[in-house]
Structure formats: structure tokens, C-alpha cells
């Protein structure tokens, strides 16, 4: 993809409203430091630009969960997409809950009480941790579930992203839940590198994202969490109420995104970026253009 051809399209969406507004009039959309987050941030930003007159500033690649959360609490950003299970276990430091309704209720209540933040209805997909092995190895060892790992763990070389190693719902809890005993300590890696490292045999087990487009492309296999260790990780926009109060139309625009993105759609969009090498802004623009007619049509129209 010729990235230079993508920028006129981005500029057309963003520069016109920004040129006629002061910096304080903008809504700042944030994102964590991995590709799905950047793509989601761009999709939300372009959706706001397409459905309102509100100028948008982008602050992507902020870092991990804690950094993005602190930026929101401090008012450095106005909103970003978080995952409910991450909010529950990492930010609120609660024990995992398997019921998605209860997870959302708890997160909403605690975010409002602690920081005055609002958690909107989920976007429509869940991005849970995907415990991955190579498909060929899964077939040869008969690996289908995470319980199947226990008798093979000592022969496997695990490698995980930094955040998975630190989170309460990450490596330590997983090891205890499934009784996994590895011969060597997990190799800590950047999340963006773990898929290729697994595919090329540098490691044998990793934790990725279930909506990752590289899973199918690299012939990886996701093992079933048969003991229900991981909580639900529904993607939902977390937003400062002040931003919605100060920008008429923002709440309606954001709420219109609820239920708009299913798992297959997110995985397909991720693959366009991660595997096909397409530009984030172009992929986001095409998605907005495909959804916009139905979202803005009068009730009862076709």
C-alpha cells in the first residue's frame, strides 16, 4: 500500500473541522500501544468526524493499560477503548468474574465511583487472551485445551508479552489455574513479536489476542480455556463525562458504535493491517464508509 496515497483521505476527514476550532474544542481520542488499539482509535476518531462537527485529536501508542488509564483520569485524553476484563482485573485489581454482564456492571460502577468515568455499552466483540501454539505441534501432541498442556509443559519454551507477565490475570494466575510447570522461565518479549517468534519456532507457547489477524495467517492454534480462567474482555469505550457534556452530539455518536463491530469483523480488519500491510487510516475509513449509511438511515428505511 502506498501510504502517501492514504494521507489525502485522512486530511479530508480531519483538517477541515480542526481548522475552524480552537485546541480546547477538540475531543482527544487515545489508544494503547498495539495495532488493534491504534485501529480502533482511528475508527472511533473517524466515526466522530463523520457523524459530528467535533474536531478530533489523536493520541495513539500511549503505552500499556496503566498509562492509557492514567492519561484518561488526568484529562490528557477524553476517551479510549478498554476491555472489560482488563479493567476488572488490572485497573480495579478484582478477582476474575466469568459473567460478562456482572463484569460490565462492576466496572461501570467502580469507574464511576473512583474516577467519574463512564463505560459505554460494548462495541460488539471480545478480545480475550489467546493461548497459542503452532498448529502442527498441536496436532502432533494432541493439544486442544489448556488442560492438555500440563503433561507437556516441561518440554515447551514459553514466551509472553511484558504485560501478560505482570497482570494478575496473566501468567502467574494461568500457571496456578492449570498446574503448568515449565522447565525454563518464560521469555519476555514485545507483544508484536510473539506471533512471529512462535511461528518460526523460537518459542512454543505464547499469549496473543483472540482477534489477531496473524493467528490464521501464521498457522497458529488457539487452545480452549476449558476451566474458564480468563474473564470476559468485551471492548467498550471509556469516556470522560465532561467531554460529552462539552460537545453536543458526542454521546449520541459514541453510543451509535455499540454493537457495531463483531469478532469476525475485528479479526478481518486486524488482518488487513497486520498481514496485508494496509494503512490504519484507510482501513478505518473504509469501515466507517461501509457502516455509515445504515447507522444514519431514518428508522424504518431501507
43 and 96 inside one domain: yes
Give the closest residue to 112 by CA, choosing from 18, 4, 239.
Answer: 239
Task: Give per-residue pLDDT as tens, 77-88.
Answer: 999 999 999 999
β-pair type (206-209, 129-134): antiparallel
For 218, other C-beta atoms within 10 Å of its C-beta total 19
59 and 207 inside one domain: no
Would residue 301 count as lying in a domain? no
Give the bridge partners for 82, in sequence order.
Answer: 236
CATH number of the domain where residue 184 is located: 3.40.190.120
41 and 13 inside one domain: yes
Q: How far apart are CA 214 and CA 75, in angstroms?
A: 34
Would residue 252 count as lying in a domain? yes
* Alpha carbon separation from 14 to 11, 36, 47, 78, 285 (Å, rounded): 5, 21, 11, 17, 12
How would you label 30-39 residue by residue, b for 16+ Cβ within 10 Å and e otherwise? Answer: bbbbbbbbbb
CATH number of the domain where residue 99 is located: 3.40.190.10
Which of 187, 222, 257 terminates a domain? The answer is 222
Is the pLDDT confidence value at 178 over 70? yes
Reduced to 3 states, what is the DSSP secondary structure of residue 183?
coil
Global pTM reads: 0.80
pLDDT at 190: 87
100 and 208 inside one domain: no
Which of 188, 222, 256 terminates a domain? The answer is 222
For 226, other C-beta atoms within 10 Å of its C-beta total 12
Number of domains forming the structure of the chain: 2
Q: What is the CA radius of gyration of the chain?
A: 20
112 and 27 inside one domain: yes
Task: Give per-residue pLDDT as tens, 17-64.
Answer: 333 333 458 999 999 998 999 999 999 999 999 999 999 999 999 988
The model's confidence at residue 300, banded by pLDDT at 50, 70 and 90, is low
Q: How far apart are CA 226 and CA 143, in angstroms?
A: 12
- Whole-number percent of the chain with pLDDT over 70: 90
168 and 57 inside one domain: no
Task: Give per-residue pLDDT as tens, 204-233.
Answer: 999 998 999 899 899 999 999 999 899 999
Is the pLDDT confidence value at 3 over 90? no
Range 233-246 average pLDDT: 97
Range 151-178 average pLDDT: 92
How would you label 87-98 residue by residue, b for 16+ Cβ within 10 Å and e otherwise? Answer: bbbbbeebebbe
168 and 282 inside one domain: no
Would residue 134 count as lying in a domain? yes
Would residue 270 count as lying in a domain? yes
Domain range enclosing 292: 3-126+232-296
The model's confidence at residue 139, banded by pLDDT at 50, 70 and 90, is very high
CA atoms within 13 A on the CB side of 16: 10
Range 111-129 average pLDDT: 97
Amino acid at each position: 500500500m502506498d501510504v502517501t496515497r492514504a494521507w489525502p483521505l485522512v486530511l479530508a476527514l480531519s483538517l477541515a473541522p480542526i481548522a475552524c476550532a480552537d485546541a480546547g474544542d477538540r475531543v482527544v481520542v487515545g489508544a494503547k500501544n498495539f495495532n488493534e488499539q491504534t485501529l480502533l482509535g482511528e475508527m472511533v476518531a473517524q466515526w466522530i468526524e463523520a457523524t459530528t462537527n467535533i474536531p478530533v485529536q489523536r493520541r495513539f501508542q500511549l503505552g500499556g493499560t496503566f498509562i492509557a488509564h492514567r492519561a484518561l483520569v488526568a484529562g490528557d485524553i477524553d476517551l479510549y477503548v478498554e476491555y472489560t476484563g482488563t479493567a476488572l482485573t488490572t485497573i480495579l485489581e478484582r478477582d476474575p468474574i466469568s459473567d460478562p454482564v456482572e463484569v460490565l456492571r462492576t466496572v461501570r460502577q467502580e469507574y464511576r465511583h473512583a474516577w467519574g468515568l463512564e463505560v459505554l455499552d460494548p462495541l460488539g466483540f471480545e478480545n480475550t487472551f489467546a493461548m497459542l501454539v503452532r498448529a502442527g505441534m498441536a496436532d502432533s501432541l494432541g493439544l486442544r485445551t489448556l488442560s492438555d498442556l500440563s503433561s507437556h509443559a516441561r518440554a515447551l519454551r514459553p514466551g509472553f508479552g511484558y504485560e501478560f507477565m505482570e497482570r494478575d490475570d496473566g501468567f502467574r494466575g494461568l500457571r496456578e489455574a492449570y498446574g503448568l510447570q515449565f522447565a525454563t522461565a518464560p521469555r519476555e518479549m514485545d507483544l508484536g513479536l510473539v506471533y512471529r517468534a512462535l511461528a518460526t519456532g523460537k518459542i512454543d507457547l505464547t499469549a496473543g489476542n483472540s482477534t489477531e489477524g496473524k493467528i490464521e495467517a501464521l498457522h497458529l492454534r488457539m487452545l480452549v480455556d476449558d476451566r474458564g480462567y480468563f474473564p470476559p474482555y468485551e471492548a467498550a469505550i471509556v469516556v470522560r463525562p465532561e467531554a460529552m457534556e462539552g460537545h453536543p452530539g458526542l454521546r449520541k455518536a459514541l453510543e451509535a458504535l455499540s454493537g457495531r463491530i463483531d469478532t469476525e469483523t475485528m479479526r478481518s480488519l486486524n488482518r488487513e493491517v497486520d498481514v496485508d500491510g494496509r494503512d490504519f487510516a484507510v482501513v478505518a475509513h473504509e469501515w466507517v464508509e461501509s457502516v455509515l449509511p445504515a447507522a444514519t438511515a431514518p428508522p424504518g428505511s431501507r
